[in-house]
Amino acid sequence: MIEERLEQSFTKLGYQRINSNAAGIYLFYHIEGMELTIVSVIHAITGNELMKEQYEHILEQIKDKYRKSYPHRIRLLSLILTASVDRVKHFCIENREDEHWIIDIDAKRLIIYENQSNVFSDIREQLEALLFEEAMRSQVNQEPVHNRVYPGAMGHDLKTERQDNVQPRYKLFTLMNTIIIVINVLAFLLLHYVPIFGGEGRMLTRGALSWHFVLTEKEYYRVLTSMFMHSDFSHLFNNMLVLIFVGDNLERAAGKFRYLFLYFGTGILAGITSIGYNMWKENGQFLVGNSVFSIGASGAIFGVVGAMLFIVAINRGRLEDISTRQMVLFVVFSLYGGIVNTQIDQAAHIGGFLAGILLAAIVYRRPKRRNGEQPA
């Protein structure tokens, strides 16, 4: 039974089990330093066992019980065991306090919605491993996934039906990042294949980043237009590949509008860094044919990487499938590639990366509990 394996998994993590007075509900708790973590496991197999008000009341009772005996910070994770995800997902989506995850016992999967944070990464890893093993065991035993009977759920024997219409946390693409990628691709096609706008040479001359044209000619728009220009397909492909991997994760972690702010904010600051460095390098003397013109989204992309590194670091070293070690190695190899390639605007890379860390520190906040807890 999955309940027995859940208990084994929590025991490995140092949790102790407490049986509650309510049927179908049991608790695990763990104290580390000045922080108490409580995991409530609630059976809602058909989704009809609890109303939203009852569910919230149960969780409040759990927290009230421990607040009286534990004066420090309390974190609560609610695990809902169900075979009817559609009927219980509103418990997770509509509740902003605490954490609410669903274990789909039919499909053997863990569902975490977008409004949830990532503070229980150790529990998530254990649950995903457990559910994967359960899924493999079901396949070996050829256990059917439809119309199984689950005894003991909330004191009843209940026949269930698999529900597939759910929206899990981890989607393949995010909206704003996808739009930015599409704009980059369209800009590339217009730049290189549509001569109606003046051809590649004219567009590069009028849109590329140059300290002289920005500061002397007041063509400030170049800071933005240069972010959507790429020299060739390889340049575009490499930048967009990184953006697909890191940008999607950052948008899920920070939210759509913060992601836009981080992307364009770091891109602009990267451009300013490039302007300052190249002006200093050229001693403020603009020479036609010798002065540097810069194009590409890599300044903003390094900003995304820097922001992601900061967010991963403050989320205890892991966010979704990205670890701090992976991000650090990625940054080191990317910066090294810029050093050995003299054609790369390394100033924009470094400026964007540092800007990403700074802006993420300003706008990103780990989700906080709103249940009256005192910080540890």
* Residues belonging to the active site: 298, 349
The three state secondary structure string of the chain is CHHHHHHHHHHHCCCEEEECCCCCEEEEEEEECCEEEEEEEEECCCCCCCCHHHHHHHHHHHHHHHHHHCCCEEEEEEEEEECCHHHHHHHHHHCCCCEEEEEECCCCEEECCCCCCCCCHHHHHHHHHHHHHHHHHHHHCCCCCCCCEEEEECCEEEECCCCCCCCCCCCCCCHHHHHHHHHHHHHHHHHHHCHHHCHHHHHHHHHCECHHHHHHCCCCCHHHHHHHCCCCHHHHHHHHHHHHHHHHHHHHHHCHHHHHHHHHHHHHHHHHHHHHHHHHHCCCCCCCCCCCCECCCHHHHHHHHHHHHHHHHHCCCEECCEEHHHHHHHHHHHHHHHHHCCCCCHHHHHHHHHHHHHHHHHHCCCCCCCCCCCCC
Query: 302: buried, middle or exposed (CB in 10 Å: 19+, 13-18, 0-12)?
Result: buried
